Structure 1
């Protein structure tokens, strides 16, 4: 399993939002470049970097910073935040990102998203679907979790048989340190065998990583608050 240490950025600073709420922000001290260096020193090969300003604006907003980070690290970067067009994807890949995350677009414009997968290749695009569990059904949210699409995870994933990577977030677990939604993640691995699923939201300890059957996992708040040592977590995932 690939472990993706994650950092979310607002105004060039590392933050965490509670369940995606911009009015509930925690700031962390390290500079982004120093954080990436520490990830590499711990043994990581990938990092997940989110432009939260871009996610809010609907277009990448910290491009210069992301380009600088990509050029300063040996890590492969999976970059997210406000990606809506082929131009956004091309600019981020040209800047050095290894993969670009497409979220709301995958829900509201399947034709455009399919074009991105074809143009850039499924290894360069990660579909990101954020869900709320409603009466046992994973319903997909969009626009920074502010809107509900009315579509289930399974409905949206079925649109993309050519996709390869899926970042799956249970909004109710994100940043809450309550453990991942193991049942949903296991169901996704079974029902979507063509997708390499990345678990996002709720990882609190090594026992959570041990239980996951996904291809990858995002490690965020628990790492930033010292509940999980990154080097130890990376060893556990090998």
Structure 2
């Protein structure tokens, strides 16, 4: 394929393909390979994924990978504060598409806990994640056309704290006025420090968003994805 003309930051690895299913398969193979390496060195490994429609082929491909899933802690990078049976629930997507086949043995840590609001449920979320080892091993991010990733939205009143390099919290509530649902999200420091990070994207509009983000790389508050455009990032993209 003709490589999109983007001046990628130094150290960013770019994996481009014409077919979204093949790109998803390539990402699944890369993730499974990294998890196997980590499980050879440690008793457990962690995998953080993102929701939405783009990762569904990746979820299905990864669920077929044969590895020691019972030693993998699986969680979402963020979640909408809706019941699990709600169509907007990413937890539902993970259960239906990733926690299948071999991957059904993974230890799923749910970001959606009891409580009318994410603020009310935040302590329960922290308790759910209390045994999670840091740094995270594998992180798969998506990106919106406003430059948000996870639920680190530019208009979220909680963004400054969640994006602070000094933030000591693993999770935060996120209540961006631009979104119809309140959310809970992992904060920037644990996401930033993951051992393997991939940005999984589909569509030319996402490349345009990346171009805008790269043009002013230091302004992370207006486009939080900028906090991840650094050496070691793997970008997996298809039209």
Flag the structure with higher strand content. 1
Shared fold (TM-score, shorter chain, > 0.5): no
Q: Which TM class, normalised by the smaller chain length?
A: 0.3 to 0.5
TM-score with structure 2 length normalisation? 0.37
The structure, 1 or 2, with the larger RCO (C-alpha pairs under 8 Å, 6+ apart) is: 2
